[in-house]
Amino acid sequence: MPELPEVETTRRGIAPHIEGREVSEVIVRQPRLRVPVPVDLGERLVGARIGTLSRRAKYLLMPLSSGDAVGADPAGDTLAGGTLLWHLGMSGSLRIVRVGELPRKHDHIDVVLDGGAILRYHDPRRFGFVDWLVDSPERDPRLARLGPEPLSDAFDGERLFVLSRGRRVAVKPFLMDNAVVVGVGNIYASEALFMAGIDPRRAAGRISRERFDRLAAAAREVLAAAITQGGTTLRDFVGGTGEPGYFKQRLNVYGRHGQPCRRCGAELRLITLGQRASVYCSLCQT
């Protein structure tokens, strides 16, 4: 499943090719995604111009307006034509192709732009979706209850400490709770907990403020590094597969169970927390 750095890299990769462009045609080959494709998608998109693409958690927000008014709001707020909400689900991807490039299997939606480019949505499992934002991002039910972005000033150890008091839930699923902070998925939660030296099984309510400070800093560091490394894959969104996968980085624990810990050499252990596989070092993480 694409996590926050992958979605952010998608945003950065496609934004220069679509912002300010007018939609000339919409082709829907498969309307049965996790949320059915809106029946008025083509009607509302054709003739509209695309504003500043933004991201909230793992959602991409595409503001639209008609005529020359698009782009008048550089902050990317909802424009007169509404805002389209994209979610990549478990296997979805967006890439830029040229008009005339034949679709592959599972290429479900084309948004054809003036200038000869196509924004193409690919999703083998069809767990992603495209839908209209029903209200402002602060009030849309899919976004309203989301926690802060992990790289924003609103996320820190104090927030984790305050929200964790009295909680018996293990710290890893606590960190992955989108109401606590958005976008810290399985891979990056595992890596941040290793970096901070915290056992993923430990009850969130039993962790000190000092250790939460370290965990928040570690989460920020691992996500920022993934986004930075993702910058080298931006060419993948123009032609090619448009599927960067998880960035080629030196993972310390995720996917390495049974292998030696890079710090102490102990064998890394595999457990299940919140129905997710978790790998950790029993000596380095306490």
Query: For 3-17, b where at least 16 C-beta lie within 10 A, e where not — what string?
Result: bbbbbbbbbbbbbeb
Average pLDDT, consecutive stretches of 10 residues, N- to C-terminus, the chain (286 residues)? 86 94 97 96 95 96 73 42 91 92 96 95 95 90 95 97 97 97 94 98 98 98 88 56 61 95 97 94 98
Instruction: Find out whether 86 and 62 touch, Cβ atoms under 8 Å.
Output: yes
List, for residues 228-265, the tens digit of each pLDDT value: 887 555 556 666 566 655 555 678 999 999 999 999 99
Does 248 qualify as catalytic in the annotation? no
Catalytic option among 11, 58, 120, 220: 58
> How many domains would you assign to the chain?
2
- With a CB cutoff of 8 Å and minimum separation 6, the contacts of 144 are 138
Verify that 179 and 117 share a domain, yes or no: no
Instruction: Find out whether 215 and 189 touch, Cβ atoms under 8 Å.
Output: no
Verify that 275 and 211 share a domain, yes or no: yes
Does 58 qualify as catalytic in the annotation? yes
Residue 16's domain is classified under what CATH number?
Answer: 3.20.190.10
Verify that 117 and 196 share a domain, yes or no: no
Does 3 qualify as catalytic in the annotation? yes
Verify that 126 and 218 share a domain, yes or no: no
Verify that 104 and 169 share a domain, yes or no: no
Q: Is 87 annotated as a binding residue?
A: no
Q: Report yes or no on 50 lying in a domain.
A: yes
Instruction: Supply the pLDDT for residue 76.
Output: 42
Verify that 127 and 211 share a domain, yes or no: no
Catalytic option among 12, 44, 256, 276: 276
Instruction: Supply the pLDDT for residue 72.
Output: 40
Name residue 132's beta-bridge partners: 84
Verify that 120 and 201 share a domain, yes or no: no
Q: Is 106 annotated as a binding residue?
A: yes
Does 141 qualify as catalytic in the annotation? no
Q: Is 108 annotated as a binding residue?
A: no
Name residue 121's beta-bridge partners: 94, 109
Q: Report yes or no on 272 lying in a domain.
A: yes
Q: What is the extent of the structural domain holding 34?
A: 4-132
Q: How many Cα neighbours within 13 Å face the side chain of 162?
A: 8
* pTM, entire model: 0.87
Token duo for residue 53: 């693409």
Q: Identify residue 176 by its one-letter amino acid code.
A: M
DSSP 97-128: EETTPPPPTTEEEEEEETTSEEEEEE-SS---
Residue 263's domain is classified under what CATH number?
Answer: 1.10.8.50
